[in-house]
Chains A and B, each alone.
Chain A
Amino acid sequence: MRWFWLDRFTEFVAGSHATAVKCVSLSEDHLQEHLPDYPIMPNSLVAEGMAQCGGLLVSEIYKFSELVVLAKFARCTIEGEARPGDVIRYKAVVDQAKDFGASVQVKGDIDGRPFSEGEIFFARFDPDSTENTRGRVLFNPDDLRSWLRVVGVFDVGVRTDGTRLRLEDYPHFFQTSVV
């Protein structure tokens, strides 16, 4: 099982907001194992989907090039259940972004019904800041590039001025040194 808790971005406006969908399917292992005979999407994985939607949006602010980690959920509420056949739509909005981190608000809905809401903080570690983080990246650039393509970031991604996001605009993906 791959740690993908979004299926596709339907909107991605760099530095501003993004919308992504997650289709809940009975064929997913965790629905079989979380509560036997009562298949629902575990709330922890809903939170992970919210974090992935907001996290990729934040990661773009730093050109997908650095160690950006989920620091904390300041708040997270989930109402009701996501069942097989449901489509969860997450919308993340950048609230604040600084050189050392960013916060996003993420709301999820199912067919227009409010489902989840959270305030999430991501910390950015300057690659040169400490011995432990120097030169490190969160993902292998090839894996990250693949993930971004699979979930359609470069299919729908634009900047706030409407120009398209292009993979070629992120030189980090074309560097040969990989951690």
Chain B
Amino acid sequence: MSSVTSKSEIFAKVQEALVDALGVDEDEVTPQATLQGDLGAESIDFLDIVFRLEKAFGIKIERGELFPEDILTNTEYVEAGKVNAAGMAKLKERMPFADLSRFAADPSVQNLGKQLTVQDMCNFVEHKLAA
């Protein structure tokens, strides 16, 4: 299987998972779409998404692996509602699949979830499958 085919298969399965979990149309689930902003995902939907990704790809996703809430609630890493330098380093370590450049510009805690995209989901799955 070529890597191109593999990426498109990953996208197709992630797209299906998000359509089922969020009740959105397939054409809304583009790589650039943000989960919370564009697709209307709420925090509780992440449980649903995690289960669907596990099933679709035969992977195990531990708590906080996709969305490291523990970092965002740790006072060691958060100051005045923003993730500090140590926190950013930790996030990059825990989320190598995510493009955190936009988040780094304004690292308010609530922005992380808002900026996660469908492509980040695909990268996450690819990262898990390669592990």
Contact = CB atoms under 8 A, between A and B. Distances in A.
Q: Are the chains A and B members of one assembly?
A: yes
15 contacts: A71-B47, A72-B45, A74-B20, A74-B21, A96-B51, A96-B54, A96-B55, A98-B50, A98-B63, A99-B63, A101-B51, A121-B47, A121-B48, A121-B51, A123-B47
Nearest to B64: A100
Interface in A93-151: 95-96, 98-101, 103, 121, 123, 130
Interface of A: 71-72, 74-75, 95-96, 98-101, 103, 121, 123, 130
Contacts of B20: 74-75
Interface of A is mostly: strand
A117 to B, nearest CB: 14
B73 A130 contact: yes
Contacts of A130: 73
Contacts of B48: 71-72, 74, 103, 121
A24 B47 CA distance: 34
A75 B55 CA distance: 17
Contact of A100 (B21, B54, B55, B63): B63
Interface string B32-71: 0000000000001101101100110000000100000000
A100 B47 contact: yes
Most buried by A among B44, B47, B50, B55: B47
